[in-house]
Amino acid sequence: MFSERLLTWYETAQRDLPWRSKIKNPYHTWLSEIMLQQTTVATVIPYFKKFLQKWPTVEALGKASLDDVLVEWQGLGYYSRARNLHKCAQSLAKEFPTTEEDLTKLPGIGPYTAAAIASIAFGQSAAAVDGNVIRVMSRYYALPTPKPIGEVKNRLITLLPQKRCGDFTEALMELGALVCTPKTPFCQECPFQRDCTAYRLGEVENFPVKVQKQKLPTRYATAFMIRREDGALLLRKRPPHGLLGGMMEVPTTPWEENRKLGGGPTIRHTFTHFHFEVEVSALSDTGLFEGIWVHPEELKNYALPTVMKKIIKVGLKAL
């Protein structure tokens, strides 16, 4: 049976991690799961220990100031996690709810984290699907689509054991972290080698299926560096809505797909839906463009998007 084989493997293979005590403490489980989002186990360990030392209970964390929490979080990144962590600690009436559904209602707890806490801390049969689990299951079943979260969740629910659901959740993540790794997985050490569909097909490396990177179109424009005699640069404000809404820009020609640029200095930038190539050109002030005059040393006081910073940097240097 899938779960038995997985749990047997886990008994000998699992790492000794500070949040894996025999007696489960929901606060510890929650704190570790929030910290482990987008962050590696090795990075998290010292932070986890420091937090527990400073705030041994969730009540203590709720009573801390947000500034103190943010200071301790420094270096872990994605600071909205720390803000939600603090908000969640404050909003808990007394104890953590125990079901996946109720946990999802708390700040910063999404479907994955809710299922992880429900199973690990409370032994509930909940299927936690993170990147590790998607990889393991995508290979095991040779799932043909990228990011098959719903599919994996449904299949996992049929594989959950009667008991030890928390160990099952951690074991599957552990298999993904230690054996079924993204690159050159250690299939010889895998308890599921002979059943793994991707392995039998000789296509382990082709799963999970990657999200198709869509080919982006390229738009072209000429940006005008218009300088006043005293060195000030003409900037204008973009319309309030749409791409880079309300931010400042150097005047440009319309951004168009079907044109070629001349041979002047060029910068490239990629937006979500298109690549952008811009030729930077000096232009004397003919009054054609309206805007404000900004001295180069004052640029830091304006909301300039990265693409405009690139243009200005090249423009000030080359022209």
Active site residues: 33
Residue 66: CB minimum distance to ligand ADE, A: 25
CA atoms within 13 A of residue 271's CA, in its CB half-sphere = 15
Q: Tell me whether residue 35 or residue 280 sits nearer to ligand ADE (CB atom).
A: 35
Closer residue to ligand ADE in complex, CB, 18/265 = 18
Query: Rounded to an integer, what distance in angstroms lies between the CA atom of residue 80 and that of residue 59?
Result: 20
> Which residue number, 170 or 279, has a Cβ lying nearer to ligand ADE?
170
Residue 211 per-residue DSSP state:
P
Give the tokens for residue 309.
């910073």
Provide the minimum distance between the beta carbon of 34 and ligand ADE in the complex, in angstroms, as a whole number: 10
CB of 90 to ligand ADE, least distance (A): 24
Tell me which residue has its CB nearest to ligand ADE. 36
Residues within the interface to ligand ADE (CB under 6 A): 17, 32-33, 36, 41, 130, 170, 173, 177
Residue 282 backbone dihedrals phi, psi, to 5 degrees: -80, 145
Cα–Cα separations (whole angstroms), residue 188 to 56, 91, 174, 194, 214: 42, 47, 16, 10, 35
| Dihedral sign, Cα of residue 42, residue 47, residue 48, residue 50 | positive
Measured distance CA(256)–CA(276) in Å, rounded = 9
319: Cα separation from own chain's centroid: 39
Please, what is the Cα angle at 218 between 258 and 282, to 5 degrees?
Answer: 75
What minimum distance in Å lies between the beta carbon of 137 and ligand ADE?
16
- In the complex with ligand ADE, the residue whose CB is nearer, 21 or 206, is 21
Q: Is the CB of residue 236 less than 8 Å from the CB of residue 291? A: yes
Closer residue to ligand ADE in complex, CB, 174/279: 174
Residue (7 or 17) nearer to ligand ADE, CB: 17
What DSSP string describes 233-291? EEEEEPPSSSTTTT-EE--B---BSS----SS-EEEEE-SS-EEEEEEEEE---S-S--
Quote the least distance from Cβ 257 to ligand ADE, whole Å: 43
- Smallest distance from the beta carbon of 223 to ligand ADE, in angstroms? 45
β-pair partners for 248 = 237
Distance (Å, whole) CA 152 – CA 125: 15
List all residues 6 or more positions away from 12 whose beta carbon is below 8 Å from its beta carbon: none
